[in-house]
Amino acid sequence: MTTQQQTRTVTIGERPLTVDEVVAVARHHAPVEISDAAWERVRAARTVVEGLAEDTVAHYGVSTGFGALATRHIPHEKRAQLQRSLVRSHAAGSGPEVEEEVVRALMLLRIQTLATGRTGIREETLRLYLALLTGHITPVVHEYGSLGCSGDLSPLSHCALVLMGEGSVRVAGGDVVDAGEALAAAGLTPVELLEKEGLALINGTDGMLGMLCLAIHDLRTLLTTADISAAMSIEGLLGTDDVFAADLQALRPHPGQALAAENMRAVLAGSPIRDSHRDPAACTRVQDAYSLRCSPQVHGGARDTVEYAATVAAQELAAAVDNPVVTPDGRVESNGNFHGAPVAYVLDFLAIVAADVASMSERRTDRFLDPARNHGLPPFLADDPGVDSGLMIAQYTAAGMVSEMKRLAAPASVDSIPSSAMQEDHVSMGWGAGRKLRRSVDALSRVVAVELYTATRGIALRAPLRPAPATGAVIAALAERGDVAPGPDRVTSPELAAAHGAVLDRAVIAAAESATGPLN
């Protein structure tokens, strides 16, 4: 994402947000505004809710209790208390603090839904919510508390609490402070929530959707990086790129597979190492191992899964999730759109493919370290094997993360624990699916970094043979971050951290593209 994309103002209300816009606001603090047309819709929907508040007939969320207590009619004098009680009681999170970018994504997506004119929120309440986001006042949200139905109730309630001047916040990434103090320091006044507003603020899939958008963005980058690291491993292990030929890939016309193979061909183009073993008389191997030969199939399948998840995200970004909802013709109707199943399923699916891509990456790393399989390289790529351990434990680190990712790939969405006195008797666990996916995406970035670091050393040990131009550019970029040259044992962790940083900030991709042109 370019600097211009990160800082360009994101306008809510004209069309659904995109994944990249969510990332720009959540991670890069792009400015946000709400369109004039959206404000008109907000005011019109509030008029409908205020009319129902005077009705003698009970309306869920307007003049009744909630969930299993929905049958109780609430008199006028207790409705403000009803909204306060809803938010306070539902702000029941526990555990570690959730990352700022996740909370900002959640806030942005809730604001988008509130701006649709389908929730009945008041203008002043929405303006305060927008001011929190744009003022970098981030509510403290906790790891545990959401079942993904009725949406992300507890995380959203911790955000709604701040609108009331209660709870805790971080201001511009600083220390945790009292919400009331933070609002006063920013010149903002808390609101008293009126009919329907409590539900409008907390009934949504915004937390799980925000994590999905962040994961899609990150996985797109990581899969291109994994293509580069795979190509480097193939080069360093004296593998062949013949199997990546476009006509062979076209025999199985999955779009992601074709893109991954194209990337690998581009990275390996012009490699003297590859050219050194093209002669069949000199190279008697018939086929490479699956972790080399089948890289486009696995990476491609992962790419196609990410793009399927992106279609689900786009549909959810176009949704107005609330219960009850104000319909375009002025009705206020209960519904089940807050159920997180569609989002939970793809969050789980992405954890599966992330684990598999990492598993294949770790297998390529391991091949470099085994003299029975690395075709002439020293054991563990050590300078003095026996005295030096080389990269033995770097592979352990990758293996440990892959093992963890396999456990994280167990789906959360197949679980359900009934709640609310059996009124909410089937829940999505989408928030939990999102939380574990974030850990899995982080681990994938680190596993790929280990492979890049290992391949860099393996390729260096092929000297005097030179690597492909793209590979050489990546090695040079990694060398700018830390020592990647072969030699006696040294502390490995800082060098792995430097490689990981180059993965995260796209330096690896930028270096490869300096030789290949744009990669997929």
- Extract the tokens encoding 152: 């992300």
Which single residue is written with the structure tokens 């040294």? 490
List the Cα angle 439/443/444 in 5-degree steps: 120
Contact call for residues 199 and 337 (beta carbons, < 8 A): no
* Residues with a known catalytic role: 60
Contact call for residues 198 and 83 (beta carbons, < 8 A): yes
Show the beta-strand stretches assigned E in 98-141: 137-139
- Extract the tokens encoding 251: 């025999």
- What residues does 322 pair with on adjacent strands? none
Alpha-carbon span 107 to 104, nearest angstrom? 5
- Find how far residue 276's CA is from the centre of its chain: 41
- Extract the tokens encoding 62: 């307007």
Q: DSSP code of 76?
A: G
Pick from 265, 326, 324, 325: which is nearest to 295 by CA?
A: 265
Contact call for residues 167 and 140 (beta carbons, < 8 A): yes
- Extract the tokens encoding 94: 């526990």
- Find how far residue 171's CA is from the centre of its chain: 23
In 130-161, which positions are buried (b, 16+ CB within 10 angstroms) versus exposed (e)? bebbebbbbbbbbbebbbbbbbbbbbbbbbbb
Pick from 193, 195, 206: which is nearest to 87 by CA?
A: 193
Query: Measuring CA to CA, how many Å separate 253 from each of 137, 250, 349?
Result: 48, 5, 21
- Extract the tokens encoding 134: 């744009």
Contact call for residues 177 and 135 (beta carbons, < 8 A): no
Burial of 94 by CB count in 10 Å (0-12 exposed, 13-18 middle, 19+ buried)? exposed
* Cβ-based neighbours of 495, under 8 Å, separated by 6 or more: 453, 482, 483, 484
